[in-house]
Amino acid sequence: MTIDQQPHSRELRSKQAQSLPLSSPYSGYFEPRDVLYDTATISVPGSDPRRELVVRPALAVLFRIAVGPHADRYVQRFLAYERRGFSGPGWHWPSLLFPGVWAFYRKMWVTGLLFALLPVLGAIAFAAIAPAFEQADIVWIACAVAAVWLLPGVVPALVADSLLYNHIRYLVAQAERGARGATDAVHWLSKRSPTSMAAAAIFGGGAMIFVLAVVVPLLRDAYVDIGVRSHVKLALAAVSDLESDIESAWHTARFLPRQTDNPTLRSHVGAEVIDDVHVNPSTGRIRLALGAAVPALDGKTILLAPARGEDNRWHWLCIPVDIPPRYLPKECRG
């Protein structure tokens, strides 16, 4: 039996409407002539009138109160989620640019913490792949920005609407639990502020400071490592002519070319990194001692061992003795 079929339903609805405070901005939703009693649909501002969403009208009102600012945008989407029974990915610009700040503004504490950690995880991931870069060029900068800002923002931008929807549903369920009717639930929700600029400023701003404190050193170290790798690469290039001299004469005449004072080596830009060069007279192996020009490489050693493959071509194997892998170019990391 529907409400309209019950005896004295009009009088009952009139008393319910009169029981609401006259000052309540939501009183109109509970008047006898309102859609809450006369139909099973409610039109949301901005929605297509030809495609009205069939929902529980009181729930739609509670959504609007629980959401607060920008309710027109959010409730329209939340009603669509209600109609199909599940949420889905969307796009949310504030979450792309400042995900943690937005989450704390909406009082979603755990979500805000997770969003704040995403740039840190991105920086750690970028630091792990940074040795693959040979120089800090535009590609390096683009990848760093993508790892630290864009990708950690894309995920929140896609799921922000769904997360807020679940948060609002939880609040509405809390309001309706133990309430005698929609009016009590409205009053319960009206007592709480759906957003907090203070939380956005304090927790969101604090999260951004924390992210910068972690991410900036990681990026700085990755940038410094690229500079060290470039110096190691220059040192290897400086002895390339020395390798050619050994290939051409050492196996036939055991000829040892001039080493540390080799004019070709000393004229190379990479010579500033080299402290000493020694060729083993028995094996032709080059021992490359690096100097203090680059403090991270001071006292480090690289061995360049000659080998002849099946195609009778020379190959030089780079064997780092005491150099951390992050300082090595790709030819020395195999």
Q: Which amino acid is at 154?
A: V
Domains and CATH numbers, the chain: 39-228 (no CATH), 241-332 (3.30.700.10)
Q: Tell me the pLDDT tens digit for each residue of 283-305.
A: 888 899 999 899 999 999 999 99
Mean pLDDT value across residues 133-156: 91
Which of 9-13, 59-63, 127-131, 291-295 is predicted with the least confidence, judged by mean pLDDT? 9-13
Confidence of residue 248 (pLDDT cuts 50, 70, 90): confident
How far apart are alpha carbons 155 and 117 in whole angstroms?
Answer: 12
Tokens 């937005």 appear where? 102
Which of 45-59, 69-83, 227-241, 302-316 is predicted with the least confidence, judged by mean pLDDT? 45-59
Mean pLDDT value across residues 182-186: 87
Tokens 């929807």 appear where? 165
Q: Which residue has the higher pLDDT, 327 or 308?
A: 327
Q: Which amino acid is at 226?
A: I
Percent of the chain having pLDDT more than 90?
49
Q: Terminus-to-terminus CA distance in the chain, angstroms?
A: 79
Long-range contacts of 135-140 (CB under 8 A, 24+ apart): 135/226, 135/230, 136/223, 136/226, 136/227, 140/226
Phi, psi for 19 (deg, rounded to 5): -75, -15
How far apart are alpha carbons 200 and 123 in whole angstroms?
Answer: 23
320 has pLDDT over 70 = yes
Q: What pLDDT is stored for residue 224 in this prediction? A: 93
Q: Which amino acid is at 123?
A: A
Q: What pLDDT is stored for residue 330 in this prediction? A: 86
Which of 4-13, 144-153, 203-212, 318-327 is predicted with the least confidence, judged by mean pLDDT? 4-13
Q: Which residue has the higher pLDDT, 168 or 136?
A: 168
Would you call 164 helix, strand, or coil by DSSP? helix
Contact 133, 139 (CB under 8 A): yes
Mean pLDDT value across residues 29-57: 47
Mean pLDDT value across residues 251-256: 59
Mean pLDDT of the chain: 81
Percent of the chain having pLDDT more than 70?
78
Name the nearest CA neighbour of 210 among 106, 145, 115: 115
